[in-house]
Amino acid sequence: KNEVEQSPQNLTAQEGEFITINCSYSVGISALHWLQQHPGGGIVSLFMLSSGKKKHGRLIATINIQEKHSSLHITASHPRDSAVYICAVRYGTGNQFYFGTGTSLTVIP
Amino acid sequence: NAGVMQNPRHLVRRRGQEARLRCSPMKGHSHVYWYRQLPEEGLKFMVYLQKENIIDESGMPKERFSAEFPKEGPSILRIQQVVRGDSAAYFCASSRVVGEQFFGPGTRLTVL
């Protein structure tokens, strides 16, 4: 069964803190996405990874293919980072994404 | 370079009515994906289409739901005889090639 597990489910942080959100999957993948969804809002793709590490501003995403694990890091967190962060994976040549249930992040000023 | 467009953004229907959700992919994108997000649940794949073809509909409910992506015009997700359990956010995504998907703002369907 293809499963995508995210942790934690909910996360509250003080402004400025370093944040890590984790994603684990059960079988080998061809790609992994990190998505951001604001309350009542649309979905923005933050990163697409198949190996290694990517950085965009204060966001860093890493993936360890052997351990079937990815992390999303936010440095110097800010209240505007408050959102749900979703991990999504694609397997082999399949087209559909399998999604984690999301991590709800609240950054307090 | 407009992103993925969805309309309407909010749709209210009474039980038994039909709901039509539209998705215009990004320019140059010929792959369209529909996802559903039920209240308090994660996103689930519904259907993957290319122009005039359904490629993968393994996530579509067997009854009342259909999707199309005609040669001209937007992709349509159609829900016939809606029930309260169909209330959800429906997201469309598009891609130029398989894998890299860009999401629309979603249509929030409420069934009364």
Q: Give the separation between CA B22 and CA B25, rounded to whole angstroms.
A: 10
Of A41, A90, A102, the CB nearest to B42: A102
Query: What pLDDT shows up at residue B96?
Result: 87
pLDDT for residue B99 is more than 70? no
**Overall average pLDDT of the B24-29 stretch:** 93
pLDDT computed for residue A58 by the predictor: 97
User: Where does the pLDDT of residue A28 fall: very low under 50, low under 70, confident under 90, or very high at 90 and above?
Assistant: confident
Q: Are B67 and B75 in contact (CB under 8 A)?
A: yes
Asked if B102 reaches chain A (Cβ–Cβ under 8 Å), the answer is: yes
The CA distance from B107 to the nearest CA of chain A, in Å, is: 9
pLDDT of B57 strictly over 60? yes
User: Residue A90 pLDDT more than 90?
Assistant: no
Contacts of residue A49, Cβ cutoff 8 Å, sequence gap at least 6: A31, A32, A33, A34, A61, A62, A63, A70
Q: Does the structure show a pLDDT above 90 at B100?
A: no
**CA distance from start to end of chain A:** 41
Report, as an integer, the average pLDDT of B14-19: 98
Mean pLDDT throughout A69-78? 97
Using the Cβ of A43 and the Cβ atoms of chain B, whether some distance falls under 8 Å is answered with: yes
pLDDT band at A27 (very low <50, low <70, confident <90, very high): confident
- pLDDT score of B1: 55
Please identify which residue in the block is written with the tokens 């360890």. A64
Closest of A60, A82, A81, A69 to residue A32, by C-alpha: A69
Distance CA A36, CA A47 (A): 10
What is the Cα–Cα distance from A89 to A33, expressed in whole angstroms? Answer: 6
Contact B35, B49 (CB under 8 A): no
A99 touches chain B (CB under 8 A): yes
For chain B, percent helix, then strand, then coil, each to nearest 5? Answer: 5, 50, 45
Of B59, B100, B105, the CB nearest to A96: B59
Averaged pLDDT, A52-73: 95
